[in-house]
Amino acid sequence: MDCYIKVYGCQMNAADAHLVSRLLADGGIEEVEDSQHADAVVLLTCSVRRHAEDRAQGFARTMRGEGKKVIVAGCMGRLRGEELVKEGIADYVLGPDEYRKIPRILKDSEVSDTVEELETYSDLLPVDSGGVSASFAIMRGCNNYCTYCVVPFARGPERSVPYEALERQVKYLVDKGVKEVFLLGQNVLAYAHDDLRFADIVEKVSRIEGVERTGFLTSHPRDLDYEPVQRMADIPELLHFFHLPLQSASDKILGMMNRRYTISDYSERINWVRQTFPDAYLTTDILVGFPGETAEDFRMTLDALKRFDFDFAYMFAYSERPGTKAVRMASQEPKEERLRRLSEVIEVQTRITRRRAETWVGRNEDLFVTAPAPRRRGMLAEMKNHRSVILNHTARPGDFVQARLVGVKGWSVIAEPAVKEVV
């Protein structure tokens, strides 16, 4: 039995793919890199927006049409369940807490219908991807219940992985050549296990021998406090990268979203980060067209983009999600207006992103090489703040290279080695 894994959505799903890879390997099932060579396909799906569901359904139908066994796992599996089987989209459906069933399903063994609750997979060691950077979950689930979001329904309440399990995973990865680790969670700042909190975990992981760079995603602005920011400034391995989803700059809309912070609260946290990490690479999420968003609410968000000067933003039009409070709200914006507003914020942020990248040109930076660039055009590398750079150099992944930033192509900074290669 050969199996192909297809990932949709967030970094958590990408990390979950490594868990599934480990379960396949431990179960004696071969994982293949091309769906055409597979007998079965596992889809790790996203339900945050309708578009992601549509893409997954289309691929699943194609695979079933080719006679492959299809397992729809992840958020769609949890939220839509047997509906997908009845519609002929999937042979089996599994939620994010049921991945351990996958090998038995693929081997046509008897599988319990019992849904395991509050799984953390803390006993599983990651697969060796051969890379120098790795991501893994330190906590799962979410307690925030933003009114537009299905994640708490799909992934359950927050629960954190014990540090002993995290340490075992990190040491395993380091032994395999990993130098950079990313700590993941739907709300990573909410980590809590025994008497350890998030800043404690960042410090402890960064002290593990062989870890040279430590990053994290995703953060809820409400949970970012001044004291942990100051503690993190004393961690030399920490990447100066912060992803703080704003969503909207209207206090009215933030309240309707149940975000539990104001634009003033958010601004204070941005100031903490930028004062502590002047070179911070700051990214955000923006959601436009939320029910009740007026032209003035939207203008506030546009003004905030210009004021906060984000390095990058993930921007979306509101998408109705069944079961959420927002779908029952009055004043649903027409889809055409949502898309018009999305187009406008993309236009504004694209200019900001390019300008922010251009401010780095002319500087010398110590770059961390991660992988070959697409189409063999140099190497992909990262700055200390996790900003991506294309390096015109033949360094190996895992190397650190002193380089001069010489230009910008698209949104990417281009660099040349400060010391020319000896041929």
Digit-coded pLDDT (tens) for 323-343? 999 999 988 999 999 999 999
* Whole-angstrom Cα Rg for the chain: 22
- Average pLDDT (403-411) is 93
Statement: residue 312 has pLDDT above 60: yes
- Cis peptide bond prior to 301, omega within 30° of 0: no
Q: Are residues 410 and 271 in the same domain?
A: no
Q: Tell which of 358, 387, 403 closes a domain.
A: 358
Threshold 0.85, pTM exceeds: yes
Confidence of residue 393 (pLDDT cuts 50, 70, 90): confident
* 311 and 340 belong to one structural domain: yes
pLDDT of residue 420: 62
Does 265 have pLDDT greater than 90? yes
Average pLDDT over residues 63-76: 96
| Counted domains in the chain | 3
Please, are residues 125 and 169 in contact by the beta-carbon 8 Å criterion?
A: yes
Q: Within 10 A of 366 (CB to CB), how many other CB atoms are there? A: 12
For residue 245, which of 279, 216, 221, 277 has the smallest C-alpha distance? 221
Q: What is the domain extent for residue 191?
A: 133-358
More confident residue, 47 or 296: 296
User: Is 407 a residue whose pLDDT tops 60?
Assistant: yes
Q: Does residue 348 share a domain with residue 208? A: yes
In a domain, 346, yes or no: yes
Which run of H or of E encompasses 169? helix 163-175
CATH of the domain at 260: 3.80.30.20
Q: Which amino acid is at 198?
A: F
Q: Does residue 313 sit in the same domain as residue 191?
A: yes
pLDDT of residue 422: 44
pLDDT confidence bin for 182, thresholds 50/70/90: very high
Tell me the average pLDDT across 68-96. 94
Residue 306 lies in a domain: yes
Partners of 324 in beta bridges? none
Residues 383 and 251 placed together within one structural domain of the fold:
no
Helix (H) or strand (E) holding 227: helix 226-232
Q: Are residues 10 and 149 in the same domain?
A: no
Which residue did the predictor score with more confidence, 302 or 409?
302
pLDDT band at residue 421 under the 50/70/90 scheme: low
Residue 118 lies inside a defined structural domain of this protein: no
Give residue 237's region: left, alpha or beta (phi > 0; psi -120 to 50): alpha
197, 227 contact by CB (below 8 A): no
Model confidence at 376: pLDDT above 60 = yes
Q: Note whether 303 and 392 are same-domain residues.
A: no
- 138 and 244 part of one domain: yes
Contact 302, 294 (CB under 8 A): no
The confidence score (pLDDT) of residue 116 equals 63
Single residue among 358, 381, 403 that ends a domain in this structure = 358
- For the chain, the farthest-separated pair of C-alpha atoms sits apart, in whole angstroms, at 68
Could you say which of 307, 334, 358 is where a domain stops?
A: 358
Q: Is the same domain home to 181 and 320?
A: yes
Same domain, residue pair 300 and 368? no
Q: Are residues 61 and 184 in the same domain?
A: no
What is the domain-level CATH number for residue 49?
3.40.50.12160
| pLDDT tens digits for range 119-135 | 999 999 988 888 999 99
Per the domain annotation, does 310 fall within a domain? yes
Residue 287 sits in the same domain as residue 342 = yes
d(CA 408, CA 328): 45
Instruction: Tell me the CATH number at 370.
Output: 2.40.50
Q: Is residue 113 part of a domain?
A: no
State the average pLDDT over residues 144-160: 95
Q: Write down the pLDDT at residue 49.
A: 86
Mean of the per-residue pLDDT values for the chain? 94
In a domain, 125, yes or no: no
Question: What's the burial of 18, exposed, middle or buried (CB within 10 Å: 0-12/13-18/19+)?
Answer: buried
Tokens 């900074």 sit on residue: 413
Contact 386, 240 (CB under 8 A): yes
Q: What is the pLDDT of residues 27-69, one digit of tens each?
A: 999 999 999 999 999 999 999 888 889 999 999 999 999 999 9
